[in-house]
Amino acid sequence: MEPMKRIIIVCGPTAVGKTGVALKLAAAAGAQIVGADSMQIYRYMDIGTAKPTAKEQARVPHHLVDFCDPAEPFNAAAYSRLARKAIDRLLEKGVVPLVVGGTGLYIKGLLGGLFPAPSPDRSIRQRLQAEAEQLGTPALHDRLVRVDPSTAARLHPNDTARVVRALEVLAATGEPISRQQDRHRFEDEPYRALKIGLFLKREVLYRRIDRRCDAMLEAGLIEEVKDLLKRGYSPQLKSMQSIGYRHVVDYLQGRATFEETRRLFCRDTRRYAKRQLTWFRSDPEIRWLTPEETNKACSMIRKFLAGEQIDAGPALGG
């Protein structure tokens, strides 16, 4: 593959320090940043998404950040299409694209295309949704564990939409969605990527998450959510159901105290980080570094862009 088709990926869990590292790497490599975060795409949602500040975005040009209305439908397929356009424009100018974010599906779709899943079957979906309401989503997740353990392992037991979808595909096709995805194997590969994953010891990461949640609340997350509601954005929107925003909505509508809001915000963010790590650990191509190892990352990037061999490095443990 031509060197111009080489791109850099910086991924990892929330609060690990991706933004700070990415700014340093971009400056060293003369790169521009392409966001890969499913929440930082939204306008008016700055504090709760840990979006790069205006000052940070002025230091290094950012793409696919702060461009989507919170009420606008957006998914991995739309991201892949827009990200490839942004990356190709940078490559045409001789600029290194640095893709940065923690949304694993966005990165996977960008690099390998998206699995063309079967069309929805309305009757099967309605039956499964009724079962989820009657029995609870965890009961359907238990069923998925038995029939498609690979898919079940990457889905939260309360993720109704995705659990129902996986069971729907199995019922409609007679084959687990994971097997169909394996067959697809994301064969569309337009870029050669160096994947750098950032990690910290779990206890350190969790302390950082707790501090970040507190900082967001102190920085005005509650006022940010109030503003979104005043603008007419429904609490039922996908964007408003995200971590932090749904917690503050519950507080504003009297369903939780401030202390309970803070506790659940921190807890759910830690759980989200754990799911992110589970996703990224499954990719053997990721080279894992701590946020302090920027010099090592710069060296890896120089070798990669020059077409030199890079050691695989150790796998990330549990």
Weakest-pLDDT range from 94-98, 123-127, 274-278, 288-292: 123-127
Least confident range of 166-170, 181-185, 206-210, 217-221: 181-185
Q: What is the pTM of this model?
A: 0.80
Q: What is the pLDDT of residue 179?
A: 80
Per residue in 291-311, is it b (16+ CB within 10 Å) or e — as a string?
beebeebeebbeebbeeeeee
Helix-strand-coil split of the chain, %, nearest 5: 55, 10, 35
- Give the DSSP letter of residue 96: E
In this predicted structure, the answer to whether residue 2 has a pLDDT above a threshold of 90 is no
DSSP single-letter state for residue 49? T
The burial of 159, by beta-carbon neighbours within 10 Å (0-12 exposed, 13-18 middle, 19 or more buried), is given as: middle
pLDDT band at 162 (very low <50, low <70, confident <90, very high): confident
- What per-residue confidence (pLDDT) applies to 1? 41
- What is the secondary structure of 156-184 as a DSSP string? -TT-HHHHHHHHHHHHHHSS-HHHHHHHH
Return the minimum-mean-pLDDT range out of 122-126, 184-188, 200-204, 237-241. 184-188
Rounded Cα–Cα distance for residues 24 and 37 (Å): 19
**Mean model confidence pLDDT for the chain:** 92
How far is it, in rounded angstroms, from Cα 121 to Cα 9? 36
Query: Which domains does the chain show, CATH number per domain?
Result: 3-114+186-305 (3.40.50.300), 122-184 (1.10.20.140)
- Percentage of the chain surpassing pLDDT 70? 92
